[in-house]
Structure 1
Amino acid sequence: MVTRLLSLKILGQHGFANWAMSQVAVLLLVSGTLILGITPEAASGQEFGRANDIKTNAAYFFYGQAGEATIQVNLLGVRASGVYEVPDSTDLGKVLSLAGGMNLRPRTEEQKRPEVTIRLYRGGQIEGDPAFEALLREILRGKRDVPVLRENDTIAVDVVRPSTFTFSQGLSIVSTLASIGLLLDRVLNR
């Protein structure tokens, strides 16, 4: 009580209240920081995954959760090509789904289905023979076992569209050649 009266005499009634509030605020800030364990460096900005290590123009996609073991795989020939950081338990089909699937164009009923080949290269290299190669339809039908993905794998998706020659295209070529032949006949036989 004596201390409070002495403080009131020195600081005045409002001055003491302001001083006490500022002391409480500092105490809460310091204790909150110590309790939560947040250092000023950690609070200023946190790095998440390995995204800050990427120094290229390639797209980077992160599909992991904090504290989860992840791997980075490279995808080429899909709608969203780039570097994918995914949980280490992710399979090939899941990564292809995350990438939006293959680059396929609409086709007419007359056109044959494209052949989609999946190639898996180990260690980030795309030279030489792939560690795994299979047609997508074989994988989807369960005829091929898909290997487990590893850190720095490269998955190349190759879409080959079989050429088709329809009757209407053939008729168009024949009519063009006939027109050129008739034109040459008229010009040369004048």
Structure 2
Amino acid sequence: MIRLRLYPQGLHEVKSFAAVCMFAVEHFPFQGRLRHIDHLLESEVSHLVEGGKLSGAWESQAMLASKGRLAPEYVLFAGVGSLEDLTLTRLYRHAKDIFGRMMRASAKNLSMQVSGFAQLPDDFAPVATEIMNGAIRGVIGNPWDVDILVCEPDDEKYDELVMLSEQIAFSSVKNRELSLEVSI
């Protein structure tokens, strides 16, 4: 069973094994939610980027223990490349690959926030849809139950996220059961 769970809270507030923070090369220096999470991690991520050990390039990743500073036990910062080269198809593939790798590491409870890649306000729906579909497809081949927790503290975006998730939940997910849980 894959459980897609929606929360009207920030990524740092929702308990999970690991929070997945995808970011592009252009997202550094961090702003918004990434900056807040980095701040809660005492700028560990910024130090890794500044030291050349992490970048927004595809396959550049760092998994940090939250040590109680955030609700998730770990935070995975995963690069997705340059915004200039990032298409909806690539975003889907990157989410699928990242979540697939986490499954191979036996992670069964992952959180994410789907906003942050939209260049225009109208981009939220297609971007959120591709990231969620990619995450679901990344975990489909695993035999155990998996929780994908999607966090969105913005009320307007959360309402849209609920509608998008309903469409995803009622689309065909082959070989697995998919449930949708919405926190209000």
State the structure with more CA Rg.
1
The alignment's TM-score, normalised by the length of structure 2, stands at: 0.24
Higher RCO (CA-CA < 8 Å; seq separation 6+) = 2
The alignment's TM-score, normalised by the length of structure 1, stands at: 0.24
